[in-house]
């Protein structure tokens, strides 16, 4: 039985809490397959400078690097929700996550939430912030019924923070180095406490930077758990050109998983984040923003940057196979089904199967698939690729790497369980990492 299940079963899950998360795709793993969110890019400015951020693009505390979103006025944002909600009945959450920091743009952010509260009172309101200005705005957040707030917090030690943040701007004054990191940290911690006092559900995003804060993440996790955070989301750094962290590397899948496993003993882990853009629309991993709003999101330099970054800097796959544990890649268009060919236009999701669980680990970029010798192949560490169909070239390449090619359809978990059973591992099919 997984650590997560042990902890959840000991604590039990309060029905009221369950109600608050069951249709939020970022707070419930079960919900992320079924419920959609829309991000409204109404907040262009930022009040800090993270060393991994190039401000030509969206805030990286939740978004992939190299993505640019066109900014909307609050009234335009409301129109967008009206339009999307007409065609997307499973739209349950509306969030503001950039392109800068929502609380560095309080007028636009709160005006948007005000319009939404009046027009769509039943839709969950969600926000993601660096936390610098939470103290000033905690009451307003509460009054407007913003029930879910994400705070990105990358260090609880100002020495480490000083390596991650170049400066912080407060009351028109710039604070650098350790002093800047201390100002930010004190305000983030107090902000989290204030959110807890107002019974607002909080998620903490942590950008994992190998060699800078990786060993420190369990300390952060304990601290934010003590401050009432509901869940944490460890995001891997994707280095961005023209930033101080351009030459660093992101964590490998197994490094990130090791840290998540360490933290799971004392706080829930969000492992299904897709680092979406600040104008994302739809199910996580199936962004429809570009197809729905031609004149909205700005593609161009942003997308080219993203492609370069992913092909040249993404960490190499390195999940360690071992007895009683297998990793499989599933090609899917969503709905928890094996319903996309390989290679195809769907997502490639990586699952771990053991006798205790079938656990979703991460989504990998299909553009990294190659027919080469496998040295940088995004699938070199999995035992099988499960897809609705596989072309002959792909089958040959996979065979050359010792990877099984499985063509089938139906629910992902059943397909993974069937494959695992064939390998002598008998996982529970319905175990979605505990009750959330």
Check binding of 37 to ligand CLF (CB under 6 A): yes
- Taking the alpha carbons of 430, 431, 435, 436 in that order, is the dihedral positive or negative? negative
Q: Which of 41, 65, 74, 95 binds ligand CLF (CB under 6 A)?
A: 95
Site string for ligand CLF, 284-323 (x = CB under 6 A): x---------------------------------------
Contact call for residues 205 and 216 (beta carbons, < 8 A):
no
Q: Where in 71-130 is the site for ligand SF4 (CB under 6 A)?
A: 100-101, 130
Q: How far is the CB of 277 from ligand CLF (least distance, A)?
A: 9
Contact call for residues 184 and 151 (beta carbons, < 8 A):
no
Q: How far is the CB of 366 from ligand SF4 (least distance, A)?
A: 26
Check binding of 353 to ligand CLF (CB under 6 A): no
Nearer residue to ligand SF4 within complex by CB, 92 or 213: 213
Q: Which of 46, 146, 224, 358 binds ligand SF4 (CB under 6 A)?
A: 46
Q: Which of 26, 36, 181, 292 binds ligand CLF (CB under 6 A)?
A: 26
From the list 24-32, 47-55, 219-227, 398-406, the region that binds ligand SF4 by CB under 6 A is: 47-55
Nearer residue to ligand SF4 within complex by CB, 46 or 204: 46
317: left (phi over 0), alpha (psi -120 to 50) or beta: beta
Check binding of 205 to ligand SF4 (CB under 6 A): no
- Residue 250's binding partner among ligand SF4, ligand CLF, none (Cβ under 5 to 8 angstroms by kind) is none
From the list 161-169, 206-214, 271-279, 400-408, the region that binds ligand CLF by CB under 6 A is: 271-279
From the list 51-59, 65-73, 374-382, 409-417, the region that binds ligand SF4 by CB under 6 A is: 51-59
Q: How far is the CB of 24 from ligand CLF (least distance, A)?
A: 7
| 326-332 vs 384-387, strand pairing mode | parallel
Q: Where in 135-154 is the site for ligand CLF (CB under 6 A)?
A: 148, 150
Check binding of 61 to ligand SF4 (CB under 6 A): yes
Where does this chain bind ligand CLF (CB under 6 A)?
26, 37, 39, 62, 93, 95, 97, 126, 128, 148, 150, 203, 233, 273-276, 284
Where does this chain bind ligand SF4 (CB under 6 A)?
46, 48-50, 53, 55, 59-61, 100-101, 130
């Amino acid at each position: 039985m997984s650590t997560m299940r042990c902890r959840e079963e000991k604590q039990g899950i309060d029905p009221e809490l369950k109600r608050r998360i069951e249709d939020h795709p970022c707070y419930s793993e079960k919900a992320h397959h079924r419920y959609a969110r829309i991000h409204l890019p109404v907040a262009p400015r930022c009040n800090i400078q993270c060393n991994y951020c190039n401000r030509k693009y969206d805030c990286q505390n939740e978004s992939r690097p190299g993505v640019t979103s066109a900014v909307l006025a609050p009234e335009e944002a409301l129109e967008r929700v009206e339009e999307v909600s007409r065609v997307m009945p499973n739209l349950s959450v509306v969030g503001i996550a950039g392109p800068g920091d929502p609380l560095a743009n309080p007028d636009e952010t709160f005006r948007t939430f005000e319009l939404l509260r009046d027009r769509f009172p039943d839709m969950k309101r969600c926000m993601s912030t660096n936390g610098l200005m939470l103290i000033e705005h905690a009451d307003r957040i509460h009054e407007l019924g913003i029930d879910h707030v994400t705070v990105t917090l990358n260090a609880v030690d100002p020495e480490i923070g000083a390596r991650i943040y170049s400066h912080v701007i407060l009351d028109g004054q710039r604070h650098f180095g350790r002093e800047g990191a201390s100002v930010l940290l004190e305000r983030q911690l107090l902000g989290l406490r204030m959110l807890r006092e107002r019974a607002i559900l909080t998620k903490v995003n942590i950008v994992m930077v190998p060699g800078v804060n990786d060993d420190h993440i369990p300390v952060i996790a304990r601290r934010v758990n003590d401050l009432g955070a509901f869940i944490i989301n460890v995001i891997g750094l994707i280095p961005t050109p023209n930033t101080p962290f351009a030459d660093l590397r992101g964590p490998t899948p197994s490094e990130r998983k090791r840290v998540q496993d360490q933290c799971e003993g004392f706080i829930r882990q969000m492992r299904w984040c897709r680092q979406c853009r600040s104008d994302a629309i739809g199910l996580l991993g199936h962004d429809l923003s570009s197809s729905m709003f031609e004149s909205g999101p700005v593609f161009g330099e942003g997308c080219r940057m993203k492609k370069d970054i992913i092909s040249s800097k993404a960490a190499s796959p390195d999940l360690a196979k071992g007895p009683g544990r297998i990793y499989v890649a599933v090609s899917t268009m969503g709905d928890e089904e094996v319903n996309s060919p390989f290679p195809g236009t769907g997502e490639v999701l990586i699952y771990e199967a053991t006798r205790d669980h079938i656990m979703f680990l991460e989504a990998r970029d299909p553009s990294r698939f190659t027919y080469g010798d496998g040295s940088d192949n995004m699938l070199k560490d999995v035992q099988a690729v499960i897809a609705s169909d596989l072309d002959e070239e792909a089958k040959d390449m996979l065979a050359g790497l010792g990877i099984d090619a499985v063509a089938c359809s139906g629910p992902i978990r059943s397909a993974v369980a069937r494959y695992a059973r064939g390998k002598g591992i008998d996982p529970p099919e319905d175990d979605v990492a505990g009750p959330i």
